[in-house]
A and B are shown apart, each in its own frame.
Chain A
């Protein structure tokens, strides 16, 4: 009997093609879309389209699944998503960090609730349209390699996925280029073939996270406090509108007139201060990361060299990884790195193989 797989349908063309490829490989494919947020909850306009989780997008996947002769379901996970991902997103900003909700969603929702749903439906696997490769190593562990399309590689957001989850996951697009994926979609006349995609945060429909945070807090009768905006040398330059509105390295929206460009260097939540500096001051040669997931297995030695990525669109930097404990590492960069941002994920590779990742402290 053919193996059964639940394919997570979202975004643009990718998951449609993933479903198609698996179908052609002989899997029994079931498409499912995770409904992650409610229009009212996130302050979006029900009648405005252009996003994942909108009715029009759901119609697209429904018709794609029909075209490839697969059942399609919408799974309502909005309460769970709100309680985990959105709550965490807001509290991270309030604690002076810059969260990456996609990483959170992957470990709390996609490779948790969705995978559970796949098992409940009697599926052997779940699948996504990520550009990354899951590989079984000689040791029996599952590891993640970068997707073949370097410009699309999504291994960065996958560092938190557990071994058990990886063993049950298929990612058929890892070995393809994006343009090949579009070609396949066109060839099969999938209605999502030309669909635009967004790399922004799905539940922030206008890409304005400050608007989102403000409304989210207003609905709960909370607001952000203004405070001092200081130069790193201690001079008071002006006021900030609330620490969550700032992120490390930010230049725009500081409301300052100053002879040279200034950037956010530090967010001091405890004293309600935002500290700015000139660009040179943003560079650091090391960081600490916590909540480590050793995707490639526990390291053989306490110290090893790796290529390190500190944000999604970051050119990996040569570094040394130093294990402080099972759950904590220090990373020393060969060249200084700009705007290392607490709350973001850091991941390290050797030869395009994802060894591990964690949250920047």
Chain B
């Protein structure tokens, strides 16, 4: 069997059409977009056309879109840039308990080094935030609320519109990390009424190293970098034009395929889940069945260590993930699942399958063939699994 890649929430391959769009900007139109000459103008045109393409898709003005190196940088600029700018008047920030580390760590940094108050908004057992709960913690002193649009580990899609309106009632800014939702469901910044939104290209068949941050007109932030007037000083540094062109192209393709991809993957996920629970006992669904990015299926196999499942599948040429990998590559227990109230032992037995455009029913059938012997073997050896 060929390599089966089921880790599309980690990253995706670059679409051939995307690569085609990028190549001229690496070879012929290699100019620095800030240069005054022809080569510079060519690059600048590519840059600004890309900005317009993406702006149209997310329904904002091109001048509200700032290119970055990706999700982590966009998140950092949003959180740090706002909180630092407003800190003399507003000393409180709110982030979700199931956020990505790119939100957690800058928030924690601000809490530690700037003495800003930090509140975590919990999630329920399915991974959803409640607007009522948010209402209890947002105050006039809250500078920014940041809650993820779709969760990277479970796929849970938040009702951003009602959460944002709670923040706005108290005149707090609202940011959402839309890295996992963009291109997969409709993302319209006006409709969900956010002030800032992070997106990236490499989760939607674009290149790594190109992302963007939407900042609603009129919002001022403190930049994290200094050193030039690129991106209107919000993010100085020579623009990664080829990457940005790739990002725009990837998003354009994703938009045209969005509904088809969604429906196809939804059916495939249902097929997978239904078969899986029939094949194996003690399988716990961590992902919500509804209001989910369908490609994400997070499951706990009670009695097995997630790490051992990942490695065993890898040795069968099937790529999946468990928890979140740190720099060393070691698997850490998932804070997302623990925030959902899932017991540590169940969280440690979790696997995230994330399908994508190349995933076929044959691949899922192959996986359903390979998985039970692995789970049974691990349960056989487990000192804690009693249902042998």
Contact = CB atoms under 8 A, between A and B. Distances in A.
Prevailing SS type, chain A contact patch: mixed
A120 B315 CA distance: 12
B70 to A, nearest CB: 21
B330 to A, nearest CB: 4
Contacts of A256: none
A73 B381 contact: no
B328 A121 contact: no
B378 A120 contact: yes
A121 B314 CA distance: 10
B330 A116 contact: no
A79 to B, nearest CB: 9
B312 A122 contact: yes
Interface string B275-307: 000000000000000000000000000000101
Contacts of A8: none
Contacts of B377: 120, 122
Interface residues of A, number: 17
Interface string B317-356: 0000000000111111000000000000000000000000
B331 A76 contact: yes
Given A119-B381, A120-B378, A120-B381, A74 B311 contact: no
Interface string A156-198: 0000000000000000000000000000000000000000000
Contact of B330 (A75, A120, A121, A122): A75
B203 to A, nearest CB: 24
A71 interface: yes
Instruction: From A33, A62, A73, A120, name the one whose CB has the most chain B CB atoms within 10 angstroms.
Output: A120
Contacts of B311: 73, 121
Contacts, number: 39
A122 B315 contact: yes
B102 to A, nearest CB: 18
A116 B328 contact: no
A84 to B, nearest CB: 15
B263 interface: no
Interface in B25-81: none
B115 interface: no
Interface string B244-260: 00000000000000000
Interface of A: 30, 33, 35, 55, 58, 62, 71, 73-76, 116-117, 119-122
7 contacts: A30-B315, A71-B315, A74-B329, A120-B308, A120-B378, A121-B311, A122-B315
Given A35-B328, A73-B311, A75-B330, 5 more contacts: A30-B315, A76-B330, A120-B312, A121-B311, A121-B315
